[in-house]
Amino acid sequence: MPVRAAGAESGTGVPKSPSETMEELEHTCPQPRLTLTAPAPFADEISCQCQAPHEKLTIAQARRGTPVDRPVRVYADGIFDLFHAGHARALMQAKTLFPNSYLLVGVCSDDLTHKFKGFTVMSETERYEALRHCRYVDEVIRDAPWTLTPEFLEKHKIDFVAHDDIPYSSAGSDDVYKHIKEAGMFVPTQRTEGISTSDIITRIVRDYDVYARRNLQRGYTAKELNVSFINEKKYRFQNQVDKMKEKVKNVEEKSKEFVYKVEEKSHDLIQKWEEKSREFIGNFLELFGPDGAWKQMFQERSGRMLQAFSPRQSPNSSPTRGRSPSRSPSPPWVINKTSPPSSPKAASASLSSMSEGDEDEK
Protein backbone atom coordinates (compact mmCIF):
# COMPACT_ATOMS: atom_id res chain seq x y z
CA MET A 1 0.00 0.00 0.00
CA PRO A 2 1.55 3.38 -0.98
CA VAL A 3 2.61 5.78 1.73
CA ARG A 4 0.26 8.74 2.26
CA ALA A 5 1.75 12.05 1.14
CA ALA A 6 2.53 14.68 3.73
CA GLY A 7 -0.34 17.01 4.46
CA ALA A 8 -2.96 14.48 3.44
CA GLU A 9 -4.98 15.10 6.61
CA SER A 10 -5.18 18.83 5.83
CA GLY A 11 -6.09 18.31 2.20
CA THR A 12 -2.81 19.75 0.81
CA GLY A 13 -1.23 16.46 -0.25
CA VAL A 14 0.31 16.32 -3.74
CA PRO A 15 1.86 13.51 -5.80
CA LYS A 16 5.41 12.60 -4.96
CA SER A 17 6.71 13.46 -8.41
CA PRO A 18 5.24 14.41 -11.81
CA SER A 19 6.54 11.16 -13.27
CA GLU A 20 3.92 9.09 -11.44
CA THR A 21 1.02 7.84 -13.55
CA MET A 22 -2.64 8.36 -12.61
CA GLU A 23 -2.89 4.73 -11.50
CA GLU A 24 -0.10 5.33 -8.99
CA LEU A 25 -1.59 8.55 -7.66
CA GLU A 26 -2.76 8.40 -4.12
CA HIS A 27 -6.09 9.79 -2.93
CA THR A 28 -5.39 12.79 -0.72
CA CYS A 29 -8.94 13.80 0.12
CA PRO A 30 -9.41 15.26 3.61
CA GLN A 31 -10.19 12.53 6.10
CA PRO A 32 -13.02 12.62 8.66
CA ARG A 33 -12.17 14.31 11.93
CA LEU A 34 -10.82 11.88 14.48
CA THR A 35 -11.06 14.29 17.40
CA LEU A 36 -13.49 16.99 18.47
CA THR A 37 -11.00 19.40 19.97
CA ALA A 38 -11.44 22.01 17.22
CA PRO A 39 -14.35 23.29 15.09
CA ALA A 40 -14.84 22.01 11.57
CA PRO A 41 -12.94 23.98 8.90
CA PHE A 42 -14.51 26.09 6.17
CA ALA A 43 -14.33 24.82 2.60
CA ASP A 44 -12.48 27.90 1.37
CA GLU A 45 -9.81 27.30 4.01
CA ILE A 46 -9.31 23.65 3.11
CA SER A 47 -10.02 22.23 -0.33
CA CYS A 48 -9.83 18.79 -1.84
CA GLN A 49 -6.71 18.85 -4.02
CA CYS A 50 -6.80 15.16 -4.81
CA GLN A 51 -5.19 14.49 -8.19
CA ALA A 52 -6.72 11.04 -8.60
CA PRO A 53 -9.88 10.76 -10.70
CA HIS A 54 -13.08 10.96 -8.69
CA GLU A 55 -14.89 7.81 -9.72
CA LYS A 56 -18.65 7.78 -9.50
CA LEU A 57 -19.98 5.44 -6.79
CA THR A 58 -23.26 3.70 -6.40
CA ILE A 59 -25.12 3.62 -3.09
CA ALA A 60 -24.53 -0.13 -2.84
CA GLN A 61 -20.78 0.36 -3.26
CA ALA A 62 -20.70 3.10 -0.66
CA ARG A 63 -22.62 0.98 1.83
CA ARG A 64 -20.13 -1.85 1.37
CA GLY A 65 -17.36 0.52 2.44
CA THR A 66 -15.74 1.03 -0.96
CA PRO A 67 -13.54 2.59 -2.01
CA VAL A 68 -11.27 1.78 0.89
CA ASP A 69 -8.64 4.39 0.03
CA ARG A 70 -10.91 7.44 0.41
CA PRO A 71 -14.05 8.41 2.35
CA VAL A 72 -17.44 8.78 0.71
CA ARG A 73 -18.12 12.51 0.42
CA VAL A 74 -21.69 13.27 1.51
CA TYR A 75 -23.21 16.74 1.15
CA ALA A 76 -26.11 18.19 3.16
CA ASP A 77 -27.35 21.77 2.83
CA GLY A 78 -29.84 24.01 4.53
CA ILE A 79 -30.48 27.31 6.26
CA PHE A 80 -29.95 25.99 9.80
CA ASP A 81 -31.56 29.02 11.44
CA LEU A 82 -31.92 28.67 15.23
CA PHE A 83 -29.85 25.48 15.10
CA HIS A 84 -31.74 22.82 17.07
CA ALA A 85 -31.92 19.09 17.74
CA GLY A 86 -33.79 18.41 14.49
CA HIS A 87 -30.88 19.83 12.49
CA ALA A 88 -28.36 17.84 14.53
CA ARG A 89 -30.26 14.57 14.04
CA ALA A 90 -30.45 15.12 10.26
CA LEU A 91 -26.69 15.67 10.12
CA MET A 92 -26.12 12.61 12.29
CA GLN A 93 -28.08 10.51 9.79
CA ALA A 94 -26.12 11.96 6.87
CA LYS A 95 -22.85 11.21 8.64
CA THR A 96 -23.75 7.60 9.40
CA LEU A 97 -25.19 6.67 6.00
CA PHE A 98 -21.99 4.85 5.02
CA PRO A 99 -19.19 3.13 6.96
CA ASN A 100 -16.59 5.73 5.97
CA SER A 101 -18.05 9.11 5.14
CA TYR A 102 -16.90 12.73 5.05
CA LEU A 103 -19.76 15.16 5.70
CA LEU A 104 -19.80 18.53 3.95
CA VAL A 105 -22.52 20.95 5.04
CA GLY A 106 -23.57 23.85 2.82
CA VAL A 107 -25.13 26.93 4.44
CA CYS A 108 -26.90 29.54 2.32
CA SER A 109 -26.13 33.22 2.81
CA ASP A 110 -28.54 35.83 4.18
CA ASP A 111 -29.15 37.44 0.77
CA LEU A 112 -30.04 34.16 -0.87
CA THR A 113 -32.20 32.99 2.06
CA HIS A 114 -34.12 36.26 2.36
CA LYS A 115 -34.77 36.18 -1.37
CA PHE A 116 -36.12 32.62 -1.64
CA LYS A 117 -37.34 31.72 1.84
CA GLY A 118 -37.70 34.70 4.16
CA PHE A 119 -36.10 36.59 7.00
CA THR A 120 -33.89 34.70 9.43
CA VAL A 121 -33.40 35.16 13.14
CA MET A 122 -29.66 34.41 13.09
CA SER A 123 -27.21 36.05 10.74
CA GLU A 124 -25.22 33.99 8.24
CA THR A 125 -22.08 34.32 10.39
CA GLU A 126 -23.92 32.94 13.42
CA ARG A 127 -25.32 30.10 11.36
CA TYR A 128 -21.88 29.23 9.95
CA GLU A 129 -20.39 29.10 13.43
CA ALA A 130 -23.25 26.95 14.75
CA LEU A 131 -22.54 24.33 12.08
CA ARG A 132 -18.80 24.36 12.70
CA HIS A 133 -19.35 23.21 16.27
CA CYS A 134 -21.61 20.27 15.45
CA ARG A 135 -19.79 17.00 16.13
CA TYR A 136 -21.00 15.31 12.91
CA VAL A 137 -19.74 18.01 10.52
CA ASP A 138 -16.33 17.63 8.85
CA GLU A 139 -16.43 20.72 6.64
CA VAL A 140 -18.66 23.81 6.22
CA ILE A 141 -19.29 25.41 2.83
CA ARG A 142 -20.24 29.07 3.19
CA ASP A 143 -22.58 30.81 0.74
CA ALA A 144 -23.85 27.53 -0.63
CA PRO A 145 -25.99 27.64 -3.81
CA TRP A 146 -29.77 27.33 -3.62
CA THR A 147 -29.80 24.78 -6.45
CA LEU A 148 -26.94 22.34 -6.86
CA THR A 149 -25.16 22.49 -10.18
CA PRO A 150 -22.86 19.89 -11.80
CA GLU A 151 -20.00 22.37 -11.47
CA PHE A 152 -20.55 22.71 -7.73
CA LEU A 153 -20.74 18.93 -7.29
CA GLU A 154 -17.54 18.45 -9.28
CA LYS A 155 -15.70 21.23 -7.47
CA HIS A 156 -16.28 19.65 -4.08
CA LYS A 157 -16.13 16.07 -5.39
CA ILE A 158 -19.50 15.23 -3.87
CA ASP A 159 -20.63 11.61 -4.10
CA PHE A 160 -24.12 11.85 -2.57
CA VAL A 161 -26.57 14.49 -1.34
CA ALA A 162 -28.48 13.83 1.89
CA HIS A 163 -31.81 15.49 2.64
CA ASP A 164 -35.32 14.52 3.72
CA ASP A 165 -37.36 13.00 0.91
CA ILE A 166 -40.19 15.56 1.03
CA PRO A 167 -40.26 17.51 -2.28
CA TYR A 168 -38.74 20.93 -1.62
CA SER A 169 -40.43 23.44 -3.89
CA SER A 170 -38.51 26.69 -4.31
CA ALA A 171 -36.97 29.01 -6.87
CA GLY A 172 -39.64 28.15 -9.42
CA SER A 173 -39.08 24.39 -9.13
CA ASP A 174 -41.39 21.73 -7.72
CA ASP A 175 -38.38 19.96 -6.24
CA VAL A 176 -34.89 21.48 -6.21
CA TYR A 177 -33.40 17.99 -5.65
CA LYS A 178 -35.18 16.41 -8.63
CA HIS A 179 -32.09 16.26 -10.88
CA ILE A 180 -30.02 14.88 -7.97
CA LYS A 181 -32.53 12.07 -7.49
CA GLU A 182 -32.53 11.31 -11.22
CA ALA A 183 -28.73 11.07 -11.17
CA GLY A 184 -28.86 8.46 -8.37
CA MET A 185 -26.97 10.72 -5.95
CA PHE A 186 -29.79 11.40 -3.48
CA VAL A 187 -29.89 9.64 -0.10
CA PRO A 188 -32.98 10.40 2.05
CA THR A 189 -32.93 11.19 5.78
CA GLN A 190 -35.80 11.32 8.25
CA ARG A 191 -37.20 14.54 9.73
CA THR A 192 -37.55 14.86 13.49
CA GLU A 193 -41.19 15.48 14.35
CA GLY A 194 -42.17 18.13 16.86
CA ILE A 195 -39.21 20.44 16.36
CA SER A 196 -38.41 22.96 13.64
CA THR A 197 -37.28 26.55 13.24
CA SER A 198 -40.85 27.58 12.43
CA ASP A 199 -42.12 25.92 15.61
CA ILE A 200 -39.60 27.81 17.73
CA ILE A 201 -40.49 31.14 16.10
CA THR A 202 -44.18 30.38 16.64
CA ARG A 203 -43.57 29.87 20.35
CA ILE A 204 -41.74 33.20 20.57
CA VAL A 205 -44.51 35.06 18.72
CA ARG A 206 -47.21 33.39 20.82
CA ASP A 207 -45.50 34.34 24.09
CA TYR A 208 -44.19 37.67 22.88
CA ASP A 209 -45.41 39.60 25.95
CA VAL A 210 -43.68 37.16 28.30
CA TYR A 211 -40.32 37.45 26.54
CA ALA A 212 -40.63 41.25 26.18
CA ARG A 213 -41.31 41.62 29.90
CA ARG A 214 -38.45 39.25 30.74
CA ASN A 215 -35.94 41.21 28.63
CA LEU A 216 -37.13 44.53 30.03
CA GLN A 217 -36.54 43.14 33.49
CA ARG A 218 -33.05 42.02 32.45
CA GLY A 219 -32.03 45.52 31.39
CA TYR A 220 -32.96 45.79 27.72
CA THR A 221 -34.46 49.11 26.66
CA ALA A 222 -37.83 49.55 25.02
CA LYS A 223 -36.06 50.87 21.93
CA GLU A 224 -33.95 47.72 21.63
CA LEU A 225 -37.09 45.60 21.92
CA ASN A 226 -39.09 47.86 19.58
CA VAL A 227 -41.72 48.28 22.29
CA SER A 228 -43.94 51.37 22.44
CA PHE A 229 -44.01 53.70 25.44
CA ILE A 230 -47.45 52.49 26.56
CA ASN A 231 -46.52 48.82 26.26
CA GLU A 232 -43.31 49.46 28.14
CA LYS A 233 -45.23 50.91 31.10
CA LYS A 234 -47.74 48.07 30.91
CA TYR A 235 -45.00 45.44 30.93
CA ARG A 236 -43.17 47.09 33.82
CA PHE A 237 -46.40 47.26 35.81
CA GLN A 238 -47.04 43.58 35.09
CA ASN A 239 -43.51 42.80 36.27
CA GLN A 240 -44.24 44.59 39.55
CA VAL A 241 -47.47 42.63 39.92
CA ASP A 242 -45.61 39.40 39.27
CA LYS A 243 -43.04 40.30 41.91
CA MET A 244 -45.82 40.94 44.41
CA LYS A 245 -47.45 37.63 43.52
CA GLU A 246 -44.11 35.90 43.99
CA LYS A 247 -43.71 37.46 47.43
CA VAL A 248 -47.22 36.39 48.42
CA LYS A 249 -46.50 32.92 47.11
CA ASN A 250 -43.29 32.77 49.14
CA VAL A 251 -45.17 33.87 52.26
CA GLU A 252 -47.82 31.22 51.66
CA GLU A 253 -45.18 28.55 51.18
CA LYS A 254 -43.40 29.62 54.35
CA SER A 255 -46.71 29.65 56.24
CA LYS A 256 -47.51 26.18 55.01
CA GLU A 257 -44.06 25.04 56.02
CA PHE A 258 -44.52 26.58 59.48
CA VAL A 259 -47.94 24.96 59.92
CA TYR A 260 -46.50 21.65 58.83
CA LYS A 261 -43.69 21.94 61.36
CA VAL A 262 -46.18 22.87 64.11
CA GLU A 263 -48.37 19.89 63.22
CA GLU A 264 -45.36 17.62 63.20
CA LYS A 265 -44.21 18.89 66.59
CA SER A 266 -47.76 18.66 67.98
CA HIS A 267 -47.98 15.09 66.81
CA ASP A 268 -44.69 14.32 68.53
CA LEU A 269 -45.86 16.02 71.74
CA ILE A 270 -49.16 14.15 71.72
CA GLN A 271 -47.36 10.88 71.13
CA LYS A 272 -44.94 11.57 73.98
CA TRP A 273 -47.84 12.63 76.23
CA GLU A 274 -49.67 9.38 75.47
CA GLU A 275 -46.55 7.39 76.30
CA LYS A 276 -46.10 9.30 79.58
CA SER A 277 -49.81 8.87 80.38
CA ARG A 278 -49.60 5.13 79.90
CA GLU A 279 -46.53 5.03 82.08
CA PHE A 280 -48.25 7.14 84.79
CA ILE A 281 -51.40 4.98 84.75
CA GLY A 282 -49.30 1.82 84.97
CA ASN A 283 -47.35 3.18 87.94
CA PHE A 284 -50.60 4.28 89.62
CA LEU A 285 -52.14 0.83 89.23
CA GLU A 286 -49.01 -0.84 90.55
CA LEU A 287 -49.21 1.38 93.63
CA PHE A 288 -52.96 1.73 94.28
CA GLY A 289 -54.48 -1.17 92.33
CA PRO A 290 -56.28 -4.19 93.86
CA ASP A 291 -52.97 -5.99 94.31
CA GLY A 292 -50.86 -2.88 94.58
CA ALA A 293 -48.00 -2.12 96.89
CA TRP A 294 -50.09 0.38 98.89
CA LYS A 295 -52.67 -2.30 99.82
CA GLN A 296 -49.97 -4.70 100.99
CA MET A 297 -48.35 -1.98 103.04
CA PHE A 298 -51.72 -1.00 104.54
CA GLN A 299 -52.46 -4.63 105.45
CA GLU A 300 -49.08 -4.96 107.13
CA ARG A 301 -49.62 -1.77 109.15
CA SER A 302 -53.17 -2.82 110.05
CA GLY A 303 -51.86 -6.14 111.39
CA ARG A 304 -49.31 -4.35 113.50
CA MET A 305 -51.94 -2.04 114.91
CA LEU A 306 -54.24 -4.96 115.77
CA GLN A 307 -51.41 -6.68 117.51
CA ALA A 308 -50.72 -3.48 119.46
CA PHE A 309 -54.35 -3.14 120.58
CA SER A 310 -54.91 -6.89 121.16
CA PRO A 311 -51.76 -8.37 122.74
CA ARG A 312 -51.23 -12.10 123.01
CA GLN A 313 -52.49 -14.13 126.07
CA SER A 314 -50.24 -14.36 129.11
CA PRO A 315 -48.13 -17.49 129.63
CA ASN A 316 -49.24 -20.40 131.86
CA SER A 317 -46.87 -19.37 134.67
CA SER A 318 -48.72 -16.12 135.16
CA PRO A 319 -50.48 -15.88 138.56
CA THR A 320 -53.72 -14.89 136.99
CA ARG A 321 -53.88 -18.11 134.94
CA GLY A 322 -54.77 -20.15 138.12
CA ARG A 323 -57.96 -18.31 138.69
CA SER A 324 -61.22 -19.77 137.57
CA PRO A 325 -62.66 -17.95 134.60
CA SER A 326 -66.05 -18.00 136.26
CA ARG A 327 -64.76 -16.16 139.36
CA SER A 328 -63.70 -12.95 137.75
CA PRO A 329 -63.79 -10.14 140.27
CA SER A 330 -66.40 -7.53 139.89
CA PRO A 331 -66.32 -4.09 141.36
CA PRO A 332 -68.57 -3.53 144.31
CA TRP A 333 -70.60 -0.93 142.52
CA VAL A 334 -71.62 -3.20 139.70
CA ILE A 335 -75.12 -4.44 140.28
CA ASN A 336 -76.39 -7.51 138.56
CA LYS A 337 -79.27 -6.20 136.54
CA THR A 338 -80.44 -9.58 135.35
CA SER A 339 -81.31 -10.88 138.86
CA PRO A 340 -82.46 -8.08 141.14
CA PRO A 341 -83.11 -8.97 144.80
CA SER A 342 -86.63 -10.04 145.46
CA SER A 343 -86.68 -8.89 149.12
CA PRO A 344 -84.71 -6.86 151.70
CA LYS A 345 -83.35 -10.05 153.24
CA ALA A 346 -82.02 -11.19 149.95
CA ALA A 347 -80.34 -7.82 149.35
CA SER A 348 -78.62 -7.96 152.72
CA ALA A 349 -77.48 -11.49 152.01
CA SER A 350 -75.91 -10.36 148.75
CA LEU A 351 -74.09 -7.52 150.42
CA SER A 352 -72.70 -9.87 153.06
CA SER A 353 -71.49 -12.24 150.36
CA MET A 354 -69.72 -9.36 148.52
CA SER A 355 -67.94 -8.35 151.72
CA GLU A 356 -66.78 -11.93 152.28
CA GLY A 357 -65.45 -12.05 148.77
CA ASP A 358 -63.40 -8.93 149.34
CA GLU A 359 -61.89 -10.41 152.52
CA ASP A 360 -60.93 -13.56 150.64
CA GLU A 361 -59.07 -11.52 147.99
CA LYS A 362 -57.24 -9.66 150.74
| C-alpha to C-alpha distance for 75 and 228, rounded to whole angstroms | 46
Burial of 63 (0-12, 13-18, 19+ CB in 10 A): middle
| C-alpha to C-alpha distance for 83 and 88, rounded to whole angstroms | 8
Check residue 7 and give its pLDDT: 38
pTM over 0.85: no
| C-alpha to C-alpha distance for 317 and 140, rounded to whole angstroms | 138
Domains parsed from the chain with CATH numbers: 59-194 (3.40.50.620), 198-292 (no CATH)
Q: Is residue 78 within 8 Å of residue 107, measured between CB atoms?
A: yes
- What DSSP string describes 279-301? HHHHHHHHHHSTT-HHHHHHHHH
User: Tell me: the pLDDT tens digits for 51-63?
Assistant: 556 788 888 889 8
Below-50 pLDDT ranges, the chain: 1-24, 334-335, 337-338, 351, 358-362
Strand partners, 76: 105
Check residue 78 and give its pLDDT: 95
- What DSSP string describes 220-236? --HHHHT--HHHHHHHH
SS (H, E, C) 81-130: CCCCHHHHHHHHHHHCCCCCEEEEEEECCHHHHHHHCCCCCCCHHHHHHH
Check residue 125 and give its pLDDT: 97
